[in-house]
């Protein structure tokens, strides 16, 4: 019986070869990974800027209308350019001294760039006096700052908004902070522009899913992720 099932499940060799090349075509060319590798920048197949996040997360985020949305991101880059084309306004917090002059030359008029000192307290609290809430909050800055940024994000997220945490499989302290605040964590694990391995980008929603997790730490590490979690984030 098992042999009959195996025979039915066998895929002809020519189809297996076709599937292999379909996989290469989809990832390398349709997603634009090869263009990102050639330019050493997170870009799509047309060399347009995309977030330096997992492709599944980009697909998910790309389905919404942000034309009336206000966005806050800790950490600027090509994601800033991607969001700026889609949203009403974006506040980007950047404290990496060497990166600031470069990103300043690229950002459009609907981006407000804040440049605090490179320390955790300054980066987290630079928006304290604004008394404003954001529809989307992206946490993609210096790793050891991310858990504190997550704590701050909880209090400044608009109703119905979402929080995006990149490298979440290496920022387990930050993911725990958001889950403890009542957020539901949805993990998008997969390949990333320019990189040859998988990591995770997680989306956090205020609505809770009443299902227990199989893992103590979330997200569970992909078999294609060779790096351990970062310390203190």
Task: Encode pLDDT of 84-130 as tens digits.
Answer: 999 999 999 999 999 999 999 999 999 999 999 999 999 999 998 77
The number of domains in the chain is: 1
Question: What is the number of alpha carbons within 13 Å of residue 54 lying toward its C-beta?
Answer: 25
As a 3-state breakdown, the chain gives helix, strand, coil percent values, each rounded to 5, of: 35, 20, 40
Range of 93's domain?
2-205
> Is 139 among the domain residues?
yes
CATH number of the domain encompassing residue 176: 3.40.50.150
Residue 168: helix, strand or coil by DSSP?
Answer: helix
In a domain, 212, yes or no: no
Which residues 6+ apart lie within 8 Å of 205 measured at CB?
162, 183, 184, 186
Tens-digit pLDDT profile for residues 36-51: 999 999 999 999 999 9
- What is the C-alpha to C-alpha distance for residues 86 and 128, in angstroms, rounded to an integer? 26
**Are the beta carbons of 94 and 75 closer than 8 angstroms?**
yes
Asked if residue 231 is part of any domain, the answer here is no
- Whether 224 is in a domain gets the answer no
The reply to whether 216 falls in a domain is: no
Whole-structure pTM value = 0.82
Cβ proximity of 45 and 58 under 8 Å: no
For residue 167, is it within any domain?
yes
The answer to whether residue 30 sits within a structural domain is yes
Residues 6+ apart with CB under 8 A from 15: none
Per residue of the chain (233 residues), give pLDDT as tens: 555 545 555 667 667 777 766 767 777 778 889 999 999 999 999 999 999 999 999 999 988 889 899 999 999 999 999 999 999 999 999 999 999 999 999 999 999 999 999 999 999 999 987 778 999 999 999 999 999 999 999 999 998 899 999 999 999 999 999 999 999 999 999 999 999 889 999 999 987 655 465 567 767 666 557 788 888 77
Residue at 219 is within a domain: no
């Amino acid at each position: 019986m098992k042999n009959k099932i195996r025979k039915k499940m066998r895929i002809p060799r020519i189809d297996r070869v076709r599937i292999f090349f379909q996989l290469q075509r989809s990832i390398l060319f349709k997603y634009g990974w090869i263009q990102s590798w050639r330019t050493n920048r997170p870009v799509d197949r047309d060399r347009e800027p995309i977030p330096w996040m997992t492709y599944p997360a980009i697909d998910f985020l790309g389905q919404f209308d942000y034309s009336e949305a206000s966005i806050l991101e800790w950490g600027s880059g090509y994601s800033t350019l991607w969001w700026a084309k889609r949203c009403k306004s974006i506040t980007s917090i950047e404290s990496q001294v060497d990166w600031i002059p470069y990103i300043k030359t690229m950002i459009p008029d609907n981006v407000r760039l804040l440049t605090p000192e490179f320390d955790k307290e300054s980066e987290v609290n630079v928006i304290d006096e604004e008394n404003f809430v954001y529809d989307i909050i992206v946490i993609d800055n210096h790793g050891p700052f991310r858990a504190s940024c997550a704590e701050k994000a909880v209090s400044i997220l608009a109703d119905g908004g979402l929080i995006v945490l990149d490298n979440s499989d290496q920022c387990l302290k930050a993911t725990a902070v958001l889950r403890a605040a009542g957020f539901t964590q949805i993990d998008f694990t997969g390949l990333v522009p320019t990189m040859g391995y998988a990591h995770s980008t997680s989306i956090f929603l205020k609505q809770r899913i009443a299902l227990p997790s199989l893992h103590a730490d979330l997200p569970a590490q992909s078999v294609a992720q060779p790096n351990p979690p970062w310390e203190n984030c």
